[in-house]
Chains A and B, each alone.
Chain A
Amino acid sequence: MSIDAALWPYLLVILAGFLPTEIWRSAAVLLAHGLDEDSEWLIYVRAVATALVAGVITRIVLVPTGDLVAVPLLIRVGAVGGGFLVFFVAQRSMLLGVLAGETIMIAGAWFTQAQ
C-alpha cells in the first residue's frame, strides 16, 4: 500500500515540519516554568537569543545562499553599512534604514546581473 501522492506534501508538513518545530516551543514552555521577569537567568537567556538572531544577520550577508551569492561581497556589505548609516542619520528610523539598504542591494543586484 502506498500513500496517496497528493497527500504526501501535507504529511511531510505535519511530520517533518510541524512536529520537529513545535517540540522546541513546547519544551520552552516547560523550561520557562518558574522563570520570573526580573531573574538573572532571563538576562542570560535573552543574551543567548540576541546573539543567535544577530548570527542570522552576518550568516546571510557573509555566507549567503540562493540569489544573494551572485551579488559581490562588497555590495552586500555596502548595503548593510548604508542601511545602518541612514538608520542613525534618520534618528533611528527602521523604515528609512531598511529602504536605504534595499536600494543599494537591488541596484547592486541589477548591475551585477547586467554585466
Chain B
Amino acid sequence: MDRAHWYGRGIKAGFRSVQVGVLFASYVGFGGLIHDVGFPLGAAVLSTVLVWALPAQLLLVGAFAAGTAAPAVALAVGLSSVRLLPLVVSILPYLRGRGGGRGPLFIAAHYLAITTWVESVRHLPGLPAEGRRPFYFGLVTVAHSGAVLCTLVGYGLAGTLPHALATGLLFLTPISFLLALTRNARDLVDHLSLAFGLALAPVMALYAGTLDLLWTGLVGGTAAYVAHRIWEKRA
C-alpha cells in the first residue's frame, strides 16, 4: 500500500468523524464570538492556523477584549497549553516511522490538539506502521482546513444564531469528548483514568488554581496507572 492510499484513508476518516464535526461547530461558535468582541477576522484565522487549540484561542480573544497586557496573556496561554504535552507525547511513538529526522515530527506535533488526539488514539494503533503517518496527515488536513473555513463561516453568521442554539454549541465539547473517550477505552487503565479524571476535575477546579486540568491529568492518570500495575501483578 502506498502513502497516497493511507493519506486518502485519513481524509475519509476526518470527514466521517463526529468529533471533527463537533470541532467544526465549535469553530463556528468561535467565529461568532470574535465578531462580537471586535477581534479582526484575519488575526482570528491566523490563530486557528497557528495556535490550533480552541481553549488558548478563547483566552487570547478574551484577553484582547479585556485589554490584558501581552505578557500576562502569553503566561495564561502557556499555562493552559501544558495540557498539550502529554497528548503529543502519547501519539508521537505511532508517527515516528522508519528513519527520517525529527523534522516531520515537529510538523505533526503542531497539528495535535484534543480532537485530533481523540481520533489518533482511536485509529493509529490498529493501522500498519507505514500507514500511520500519512493517515494522520490526511486526518489533520481535514480537521485543520475545515476549522479555518468554519471560523470564517461563524464570523459571517454572527448574531443570527438563536441563544439556545449558541448554548448548545458550548455543550458539544463535553458530551462528545465523554462519548469518544468511552468508545476509545479498551483496557482497565483507560476506564480508570477516564473515571478518575471525571471525578477529580471539579475538585481541582476549585482548589488547584490555573493548572487544575494538568493536576487532574497527573493525579488521575497516576492513580489509574498504579491500579493497573497492581491488577497486573495479581493476575
A29 in contact with B18 given A56-B114, A63-B206 (CB within 8 Å): no
Chain B, interface SS category: helix
Closest to A103 in B: B168
**A89 in contact (CB, < 8 A):** no
Task: Kindly provide the distance from the CB of A87 to the nearest chain B CB, expressed in whole angstroms.
Answer: 5
* CB contact between A54 and one of B93, B106, B205, B220 (< 8 Å): that residue: B220
- Asked whether A59 lies within 8 Å of B205 as measured between CB atoms, the reply is yes
How would residues 182 to 195 of chain B score, 1 for a CB under 8 Å from any chain A CB and 0 otherwise?
Answer: 11010001101111
B: interface residue count bin: 35 or more
In the complex, chain B residues whose CB is within 8 Å of the CB of A17: 47, 50-51, 56-57, 60, 73, 77
26 contacts between A and B (CB under 8 A): A15-B74, A16-B70, A21-B77, A21-B84, A23-B78, A25-B109, A28-B85, A28-B87, A28-B92, A44-B222, A45-B89, A50-B221, A53-B87, A53-B197, A54-B197, A55-B197, A55-B212, A55-B220, A57-B201, A63-B202, A63-B206, A92-B182, A94-B179, A98-B172, A102-B171, A110-B164
- Asked whether B175 lies within 8 Å of A51 as measured between CB atoms, the reply is no
**A1 in contact (CB, < 8 A):** no
In the complex, chain A residues whose CB is within 8 Å of the CB of B70: 11-12, 15-16
In the complex, chain A residues whose CB is within 8 Å of the CB of B18: 94-95, 98
Closest to A10 in B: B43
- Asked whether B204 lies within 8 Å of A24 as measured between CB atoms, the reply is no
* CB contact between A94 and one of B19, B78, B216 (< 8 Å): that residue: B19
7 nearest A-B pairs in the assembled complex, by CB-CB distance:
A54-B197, A52-B217, A51-B220, A48-B221, A51-B197, A20-B78, A28-B88
- Asked whether A25 lies within 8 Å of B112 as measured between CB atoms, the reply is yes
* CB contact between A58 and one of B75, B179, B183, B198 (< 8 Å): that residue: B198
Chain A residues with a Cβ closer than 8 Å to the other chain, count: 76
State in angstroms the CA–CA spacing of A56 and B40 once bound together.
Answer: 28
